[in-house]
Structure formats: C-alpha cells, structure tokens
Amino acid sequence: MERDFKQLVISRQARIGIVGLGYVGLPLALRFVEVGFPVLGLDIDESKVEKLNRGESYIEHIGAASVQAARAKGLTSTTDFSQAKQCDVLIICVPTPLNEFREPDLSYVTGTVDSLVPHLRAGQMVSLESTTYPGTTDEELLPRIERAGLKVGVDVFLVFSPEREDPGNPDFTTRTIPKVVGGHTPACLDVGVAVYSQIIDEVVPVSSTRVAEMTKLLENIHRAVNIGLVNEMKIICDRMDLDVFEVIRAAATKPFGFVPYWPGPGLGGHCIPIDPFYLTWKAREYGMHTRFIELAGEINSDMPQWIVSKVTDALNSRERAVKNSRILVLGIAYKKNVDDMRESPSVELMELLRDKGAQIAYSDPHVPHFPQMREHHFDLSSVALDAASVASYDLVLLATNHDSFDYDLIQKHARLIVDTRGVYREPHRNIVKA
C-alpha cells in the first residue's frame, strides 16, 4: 500500500483534497495545482466555492489571475464532502479558535473529520495542518478514522504538518517556507514527506505528530512572549518619557544576542493571540502551570485597554472627553498591508472606545467595508483620507501601519494622533506615542 501510494504521488497522479479554503488552504491548493496535481477544494462556505469556481479570489494578496490559472489547470471546488472519496490526499486547514472560557475549540476540526470519515477509504493520506495542542491528532483524528474500520499506518496514513503561512509577506511563499511533518507511524511519516516534498523546497521530518504539534506552538509562543516583553517595556518607557521604538532600534544594532520585536496595540492574527492558550490548557492535564506564557498573554491582552487610556489622556489634554469625540481608527486589519481581520486588536479598540461613547470611524484601504464577524458588529465603510476628512476628527488612532497611508498628510492635518506603531519618529505637537 505504502509503495503504491508513493508512486502515485511521485508521478503526480494523486488527487489532492484541501479541506478549508481560507488563508492557509487556498495557497496550498494553488501550489499543488502549480506543480501538476489535480486538486479538489472542499469548504462549507458556499460563497467561497462559488467564487473559486468563477475564477475569483476572496483574499487580497491572492489575485484572481492566480485562481483562474489554477482553474485552467484543474482546480475544482465543492461543498459536497462525499467527493472526498475521490481524493488520495486530504489536507485539513480549518480554524482552531478559543471558546468563551479561552479554552481550545476543536469543533471545526472534529466536525470536519466527522464529515470526512464516511467517505474515507483505504489508500488515502489524511493530514491536519490546523494549529492545535500536542495530542490532537492521536486523540481526536486517530480514533475517528479507526472506528470506520481503517487501520492507520496500514490502510490510511495519518500526518500532522503545521501551517506556516504569513499572509502578505512577499519574502516567503508556500514553496519556500520549510515544512515540518510528523506521522503517526513510520509509514505515515514516509508518505507525508513524499507528499509535501512535491511542493515544498525543504521538508523537516520529526518523530511524531505530537512533536510536530508542539513545534508550531513553540514557534508562536516564542513570538507572543517576546512581544509581551516589548509591550511591557513600552509601558515602562512611557512612564520614563522614553521612546521605546528608538530604544529597540538602538538595541537592534547589536549584531548578536538580540532580535528586535516591536510593540503594538495588542496581538492579532489567527495564531499568536490563541496558540499560547492551547498549550496552557493542555499543560494543566500534566499538572503544569505555565506562568511565564500566561503572564505574556495577560500583558498582550491588556494592551488595548492601555491604548484606550492613552487616547483618554490625549483627549483630556485638549479638554475633550472620549464621549461624543469623533475618533478615526487607521487600519483595522491585524497587520500591515493585508486584508486579514482575524483577532485584530483594532476591532477591540473600536469596541472599547464605542462603549465609552466615542463616535467611531475607520480608514483601511485593504478592508473597504467592515466584514461580518461572529463577535464584532460595525455597520461601517472605510473613510477616504484627504485633508478635510482627517481634520474633521477629534483624534486619529494609528492602529495598523499600512504602507499606503499618506502619513505626512495625516500628521499635517490631524488635530491629534495617537501612534501605537512608532510610525512617527520625530516629535510633533499633535502626536502622542502609545
């Protein structure tokens, strides 16, 4: 079985099924198509499937031309999960959020697997790419597959390979980012490496799915902890009347032993604000209290409140209250130059200020209309920036530093700016650094 499967992969006759066509799944599907595999995209979102089948894109940094080229080479998409039986490889790329108690919510993963299991057959590989805690593949996927009468490692090959997409980063692509792969058995690992080696320049095999799961958590917790450190440094520097961005730039001139991380209004994206809580939750099963990780999480989670206090102080200095002030939020995507709104701290800032009575507007060329979100609701569209519109607001809150903003125009005409990203290096009478 293993030998036949690998031959199918190496000859690029294996049909690839990508389950979940978001910021991770769609680039992966396009890459498999690019090297010559037939690809089937599966998603419960009918609008995504319809757009792909029309040759349209719903992700800003992936152009329609890329989708159209993939369609011409064999990409098809469907909401019909029964078509999974036609695939030789099934790669699951679905969200893994937190629930209201900040505990792992695996409902997307388990629901997807439950939808696929009736259509699994011998001779398939199943890979999970969704970020999760160590043990998920063994504890959630393995028993579901084997209850269907398929022996993992013999009939079906089970793999965990964490996604490493960085939306909007032109320096790294799906092909060039090394891919960690862990298998439930040696045969599973062998097959997983064979599949991903077809599309990724460097594949990094590890000894188990649990190691692969922990690897992704370490990568993102490393970043979250260091951002927590510089966010705390930002508060200390603010009290000491120092510019933390100047301090970091100076420290970054050391050619060894220091890596610069940059503070901001909070953490955003699907991974970094969420992944540390996956590990802290799982660690409790082993009697561990992850104090260091949780402290960094608390600091990062508190940043929007701290920014709001800086906004309040800035308005007070101009004899204005937050209530009834007109506040323009610059940038509501979670990071610069993308349209990705997942866990964006800008949205929390908007809600906190709205709750205090402010009249909120936003400007973001990457998000022309505030999208429908499960937990956040604003009936707003992006404001065009010109001298008159900028001058009409009591305060401009610079939350996400898109390159397309005309920062000179904003500085010249804004009554008051609270800069959370260190865009303005020189002091100005109308700029407050936060």
- pLDDT at 137 (0 to 100): 98
**250 and 202 in a common domain:** no
Domain membership flag for residue 217: no
- pTM of the complete model: 0.92
| Nearest-angstrom CA–CA distance, 214 and 172 | 22
Domain membership flag for residue 219: no
Catalytic residue numbers read 271
Domain membership flag for residue 213: no
Sheet containing strand 75-78, strands side by side: 75-78, 39-42, 16-19, 89-92, 124-128, 156-160, 179-183, 203-206
**39 and 184 in a common domain:** yes
Eight-state DSSP code of residue 163: -
Residue type, 188: C
> Hey, what's the torsion of the CAs at 276, 364, 28, 281, to 10 degrees?
10
- pLDDT at 236 (0 to 100): 97
**183 and 264 in a common domain:** no
- pLDDT at 352 (0 to 100): 97
Local structure of 115: helix, strand or coil: helix
**247 and 200 in a common domain:** no
**328 and 180 in a common domain:** no
- pLDDT at 102 (0 to 100): 83
Domain membership flag for residue 215: no
Q: Of 207, 231, 249, which residue is a domain's last?
A: 207
**243 and 197 in a common domain:** no
Question: pLDDT 10s digit of each residue in the chain, 434 long?
Answer: 788 888 999 999 999 999 999 999 999 999 999 999 999 999 999 999 999 999 999 999 899 999 999 999 999 999 999 999 999 999 999 999 988 888 899 999 999 999 999 999 999 999 999 999 999 999 999 999 999 999 999 999 999 999 998 887 888 999 999 999 999 999 999 999 999 999 999 999 999 999 999 999 999 999 999 999 999 999 999 999 999 999 999 999 999 999 999 999 998 877 788 888 899 999 999 999 999 999 998 999 999 999 999 999 999 999 999 999 999 999 999 999 999 998 899 999 999 999 999 999 999 999 999 998 877 889 999 999 999 999 999 999 999 999 999 999 999 999 999 999 999 999 999 999 99
Domain membership flag for residue 224: no
> Hey, what's the torsion of the CAs at 7, 12, 13, 19, to 10 degrees?
110
- pLDDT at 372 (0 to 100): 84
Domain membership flag for residue 133: yes
| Nearest-angstrom CA–CA distance, 159 and 156 | 10
Domain membership flag for residue 316: yes
**269 and 192 in a common domain:** no
- pLDDT at 27 (0 to 100): 96
Q: Are 42 and 81 in contact (CB under 8 A)?
A: yes
**243 and 159 in a common domain:** no
Among residues 15, 25, 57, the alpha carbon closest in space to that of 174 is found at: 25
Contacts of 397 (CB under 8 A, 6+ apart): 307, 311, 327, 328, 329, 330, 349, 353, 417, 418, 420
| Nearest-angstrom CA–CA distance, 157 and 133 | 20
Domain membership flag for residue 225: no
**260 and 191 in a common domain:** no
Among residues 104, 118, 433, the alpha carbon closest in space to that of 277 is found at: 104
Q: What is the residue range of 112's domain?
A: 2-207
What is the domain-level CATH number for residue 195? 3.40.50.720
- pLDDT at 151 (0 to 100): 96
Q: Are 417 and 423 in contact (CB under 8 A)?
A: no
Number of domains in the chain: 2
Name residue, tokens 């058995």: 185
Q: Are 391 and 343 in contact (CB under 8 A)?
A: no
**295 and 337 in a common domain:** yes
- pLDDT at 169 (0 to 100): 84
Beta bridge partners of 125: 89, 157
**160 and 270 in a common domain:** no
**180 and 91 in a common domain:** yes
